[in-house]
Chain A
């Protein structure tokens, strides 16, 4: 199926201006509209071409290593009380689902004749993926990263530099992902002729949310078929973590039309939503405009963006992709917060039962699944089958997790 990963499907689509219900759209400086229109045109034209889809499919297969496995995690399942199938996006080249999106956008960058890509990154996964694609496609690459994140994700900073990218630590505002995104937008406004802004999640102005979703939706297409092959049926639930939300949309999209399949997005609850120290934009935020789109935002009474908090750099963002806001509005998907502690408990459980170290982002999906399983079992009167998007691997998080568990040697 990866050979035609962009074939049109009947899943939900925004209107022609990128509105998902009351969300989405374009809240951008006029200077960027021409570039967004150009991108929208290039994307739609490319999608309609069999040759583009074949090129993308071949890259996904031969370079990124997809389709990723759907692995039945038996020992984890036994602890959880559900049949848990892990969509192993952690095994992709560069270690996360993000490689799918960057390969798609890098192909478009070449098509548009642009020579430079810029990106924002939180955990560094998207920055590494972008630097990887830039090396592969011979594009100049500049990655904006909040200074706080460059410190907690130093390994990924080194990775990006090895791949030839310039990493710019962003020192203004809260010095995290949102400020990196502001800085990337400012760069884009100034250099839009030769530069493509390779946004790392299904957020930002139209066409990014729908386009990124389409580039990563192979996750769900694959998982749906793999689940049918493995179990003879569809899962009872599909779960994923939600920061900006690309991995969740990537796995949800194929299942949106399957009404019996419950969709769960787990947001970063940090210290707990009631403490105010969290990154749960849907469960703890309100509708607003941020980074070019209308969506759920963590904001104060005056519409100033609030700082988000999460042990996971990749979920530490005060907004969310507009399609999630819409799936929440329509009730098709459920969004629940998972605290840092819950995520780290599930992180440890997966390490010890399966020998798989997940990204802390993905550990939120695992923790949500742990909580969901007994409820779903009670409701169904049988053991549920749950597909979990294991969106990334935990190599980058070894330091954070080691600190959290207190297992690092003091002397160094």
Chain B
């Protein structure tokens, strides 16, 4: 079983959901992103999702777009992401990578998988790669023992849902709403239905992302999902902070609140 799978099992045994926290690599700087992700782990985030910044992130809302732009303007390279993953993996928390497809293809799919595995990454979340187009990634992830997290959506048909989860390894990413990343005032009504539809066709753990930003929302999602994925709300802590130290403090506070939330599932 993958390291992520072990972490999900342990959380399940403890009667809680796993907390996955996302941060773009190189935001605000390479060292700054390592510090931010380390602070998240120390404050209770179970799994770190490192997003590779991309120039055209069509699944991301304004907060992550801005953070990605800052990272890219700072000159972060894909090779830096590997270094960041290695540093964060050294904290002991599993590190999953989220990336749009073109940077992987440009790096070379097999070389990317090899370097990711040797950096200690567990696998990839691929927001714009569907299994239909993923032959090269299926082969490379098998060859290098990496997890594959494809997305399922409220609009996925039953047939696509079954096909997609069949190609996943590690966990499945259920997008709670029809839309892009970003914290929202209320959690989604569509998500519980999607999770139960996914459970009917897979035993893999299911993480829910898009729109979760508070401890209470995390508790609600923890009531029906195995993992709660938080991105924009955490990124905003760093983005809005006047100094890096303030950003880290805000990150720790929110991480702790979210960690408390996933331990108090609303059922």
Contact = CB atoms under 8 A, between A and B. Distances in A.
Interface string B126-154: 01111011000000000000000011111
A189 B56 contact: no
23 contacts: A25-B133, A30-B130, A30-B151, A30-B153, A30-B156, A30-B160, A31-B155, A33-B153, A33-B155, A33-B160, A173-B55, A179-B56, A185-B58, A189-B179, A192-B155, A288-B102, A289-B101, A289-B128, A290-B56, A299-B106, A302-B78, A302-B106, A303-B104
B59 interface: yes
A304 B133 CA distance: 20
Contact of A303 (B65, B107, B133): B107
A192 B132 contact: no
A304 B72 contact: yes
Interface in B27-64: 54-59, 61-62
Contact of A290 (B65, B102, B133, B156): B102
B102 A173 contact: no
Nearest to B160: A33
Most B CB atoms within 10 A — which of A30, A186, A297, A302? A30
B226 interface: no
A73 interface: no
A52 interface: no
B116 to A, nearest CB: 15
B180 A304 contact: no
A291 interface: yes
Most A CB atoms within 10 A — which of B58, B69, B129, B179? B58
Given A27-B101, A185-B58, A289-B101, A33 B130 contact: yes
Contact of B127 (A29, A190, A288): A29
B105 interface: yes
B164 interface: yes
Interface in A202-251: none
Contact of B61 (A186, A292, A305): A186
Nearest to A179: B56
Nearest to B76: A302
A299 B102 CA distance: 10
A175 to B, nearest CB: 12
A290 B58 CA distance: 10
Contact of B150 (A28, A30, A304): A30
Contacts, number: 116
A185 B164 CA distance: 22
B56 A31 contact: no
Contacts of A29: 58-59, 127-128, 151, 153, 175
A182 interface: yes
Interface string A21-41: 000011111111111000000
Most B CB atoms within 10 A — which of A185, A302, A304? A302
B166 to A, nearest CB: 14
Contacts of B103: 302-304
A interface bracket (residues with beta carbon within 8 Å of B): 35 or more
Nearest to A172: B65
A241 B28 CA distance: 41
Contact of A189 (B105, B107, B164, B180): B180
Interface of B: 54-59, 61-62, 65-66, 69, 72, 77-78, 101-107, 127-130, 132-133, 150-157, 160, 164, 175, 177-180
A35 B153 CA distance: 12
Contacts of A288: 102, 105-106
B154 to A, nearest CB: 8
Given A30-B175, A303-B54, 6 more contacts: A34-B155, A182-B57, A189-B180, A192-B178, A289-B128, A305-B55
Most B CB atoms within 10 A — which of A191, A193, A288? A288
B85 to A, nearest CB: 15
B14 to A, nearest CB: 30
Contacts of B150: 30
Interface string A69-99: 0000000000000000000000000000000
A6 B133 CA distance: 29
Contacts of B160: 30, 33-34
Given A172-B69, A192-B178, A288-B106, A28 B130 contact: yes
B58 A186 contact: yes
A173 B77 CA distance: 18
A301 interface: yes
Nearest to B156: A30
B130 A302 contact: no
A29 B179 CA distance: 10
Nearest to A305: B55
Contact of B178 (A182, A189, A289, A301): A189
A303 B77 CA distance: 10
Given A29-B127, A31-B175, A303 B59 contact: no
